[in-house]
């Protein structure tokens, strides 16, 4: 690993230390990578999710919104780019490493969990958010621990490992239901066809915060795993250090906390404090 790892307890101490310090183009789109952080070209191309409310979503009018969008926009501005110089590009989970390697994007902010395997292929700035695998359940449900899923129907999207991890390690009698998308799981949860939906709590909070779902769902708060979200850059890129500096500033000036509350607050998401840059929480 190129990033140091720490325990959750150690991370908390590091966050307090950080807070104390604060108080005192497609294909050849590499202008940000070769610049000095003051805007080295006409545009910067950023890979994001476009279908995850609260994280990264392309709206009906063609604009982009969500926590990752806020983070990426802040970073781009610190690199010297205005909002109208940002070109957004969809970064599907399976394509992220390839997009960076080909130079399709300058960096990726797309609920991109830092793992050993990925860290061998790309470099990561951050982490900038510590998320956890969790459950989304109906507001009147009383699931309080993973074992309560035994005998219940657990939904996740096709290709995700989240639900299978729960069945393998926590609730072997859970009945897995795979749907094509999270919206289908939410409809099933609302109609009592399934009993819970599992993925990262940040993603779940984004869906639960949507106007049509307010008051209908809640997060179980189980913290079934640690997911350290990082910003991916091409391996060896000098953008990593520049982005880390921008992320530290975003935490220090309060913009990070403001964005968390705006994007996840309606779902009563109990976020972790901003992680210390360069430290992975296992």
CATH of the domain at 257: 3.40.190.10
> What does the pLDDT look like over 185-217, one tens digit per residue?
999 999 999 999 999 999 999 888 888 888 899
Same domain, 90 and 180: no
**Residue 186, SS3 per DSSP:** helix
Q: Which two tokens stand for residue 106?
A: 């300058």
Q: How far is CA 257 from CA 13, 135, 172, 250, in A?
A: 18, 23, 38, 9
Mean pLDDT, rounded, of the chain:
86
Cα(261)–Cα(238) distance, rounded to whole angstroms?
A: 31
Same domain, 262 and 202: no
Question: At residue 28, does pLDDT exceed 90?
Answer: no
Cα(190)–Cα(177) distance, rounded to whole angstroms?
A: 15
The average pLDDT across 57-80 equals 97
What pLDDT band is residue 36 in, cutting at 50, 70 and 90? very low
> What is the pTM (predicted TM-score) of this model?
0.79
Q: Which residues, in sequence order, are bridge partners of residue 89?
A: 47
Q: Which residues, in sequence order, are bridge partners of residue 231?
A: 125
Same domain, 20 and 121: yes
Cα(71)–Cα(126) distance, rounded to whole angstroms?
A: 11
Q: Are 227 and 205 in contact (CB under 8 A)?
A: no
Tell which wins on pLDDT, 17 or 91. 91
Cα(271)–Cα(251) distance, rounded to whole angstroms?
A: 14
Q: Kindly report which listed range (71-75, 158-162, 272-276) carries the lowest average pLDDT score.
A: 158-162
Question: Which pLDDT belongs to residue 159?
Answer: 66
The average pLDDT across 154-162 equals 82
Same domain, 21 and 127: yes
Same domain, 181 and 244: no
Q: Which residues, in sequence order, are bridge partners of residue 107?
A: 46
Question: Which pLDDT belongs to residue 165?
Answer: 85
Domain count along the chain:
2
Same domain, 233 and 177: no
Same domain, 36 and 175: no
What pLDDT band is residue 17 in, cutting at 50, 70 and 90? very low
Domain that holds residue 260: 4-131+226-281
């Amino acid at each position: 690993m190129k990033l140091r790892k720490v325990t959750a307890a150690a991370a908390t101490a590091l966050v307090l230390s950080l807070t104390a310090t604060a108080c005192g183009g497609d294909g050849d789109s590499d202008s940000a990578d070769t610049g000095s952080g003051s805007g080295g070209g006409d545009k910067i191309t950023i890979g994001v999710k476009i279908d995850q409310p609260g994280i990264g979503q392309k709206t009906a009018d063609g604009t982009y919104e969500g926590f990752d969008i806020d983070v990426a926009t802040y970073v781009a501005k610190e690199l010297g780019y205005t909002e109208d110089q940002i070109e957004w590009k969809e970064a599907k989970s399976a394509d992220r490493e390839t997009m960076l390697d080909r130079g399709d994007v300058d960096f990726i902010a797309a609920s991109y969990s830092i793992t050993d395997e990925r860290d061998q292929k790309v470099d990561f700035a951050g982490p900038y958010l510590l998320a956890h695998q969790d459950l989304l359940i109906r507001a009147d449900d009383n699931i309080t621990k993973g074992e309560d899923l035994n005998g219940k129907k657990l939904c996740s999207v096709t290709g995700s490992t989240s639900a299978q991890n729960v069945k393998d390690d926590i609730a072997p009698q859970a009945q897995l239901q795979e749907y094509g998308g999270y919206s289908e799981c939410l409809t099933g949860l609302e109609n009592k066809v399934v009993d819970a939906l599992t993925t990262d709590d940040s993603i779940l909070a984004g869906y639960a915060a949507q106007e049509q779902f307010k008051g209908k769902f809640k997060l179980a708060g189980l913290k079934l795993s640690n997911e350290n979200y990082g910003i991916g850059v091409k391996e060896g890129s000098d953008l990593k250090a520049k982005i880390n500096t921008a992320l530290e500033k975003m935490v220090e000036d309060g913009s990070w906390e403001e964005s968390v509350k705006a994007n996840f607050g309606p779902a009563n998401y109990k976020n972790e404090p901003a992680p210390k840059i360069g430290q992975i929480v296992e």
